[in-house]
Amino acid sequence: MQISLDQFLSAIMARVDNLEATIDDLRMRTNIAMRLVKFMAPDFTRDDVKKAVEEELEVTMNAGLMEENERGEEITDRLTDNIYDWLQGDVSELKERMDEYRKKLQEAMEAEKSKVIDVAPASFVNQLGQERGPKKGKILF
């Protein structure tokens, strides 16, 4: 079965769009669930968040999704700070990181615009695969 490059790229983009929609849905559900937790336990502290982060990292490690050496106090503290600030409504750092991410993404897109991908037509590829004289050329894909 042969498909054109355009069909292949369209299929890939459809999958990426589907994944993006799924991630957005999961993010919204997680945000709502966490807001409910905050409303039900309004007096939670940073230590409560840290305990939850440590427990989740322990479960992740026991499940084999994380190595012991990947888990450290720095990761725990960073996750705790990010989650606690987010639950408290302090999103200034998140906004800064998103702005930085958008800037890098824009720069990458600008750099990609200057690059050109040349695709050989099928007839050219077939010519390369033909046998010629004593040397029998073959194309390896």
Give the residue from 44, 24, 26, 40 showing the smallest Cα distance to 86: 44
Residues 80 and 56 in one domain: yes
pLDDT digits (tens, 9 = 90+) for 67-82: 777 777 888 999 999 8
Q: Say if 32 falls within a structural domain.
A: yes
- 57 and 72 together in one domain: yes
Domain range for residue 99?
A: 45-112
Task: Summarize the confidence of residues 9-21 as an average pLDDT.
Answer: 93
Using the 8-state DSSP alphabet, how is residue 114 labeled? T
Instruction: Give the pLDDT band (50/70/90) at residue 133.
Output: low
Residue pLDDT, tens place only, 20-46: 999 999 989 988 988 888 888 888 899
Predicted structure pTM score? 0.54
70 and 92 inside one domain: yes
Tokens at 79, concatenated: 């996750």
Residue 119 is assigned to a structural domain of this protein: no
Q: Are residues 94 and 38 in the same domain?
A: no
Pair 93, 85: CB distance under 8 Å: yes
Shared domain check, 58 and 34:
no
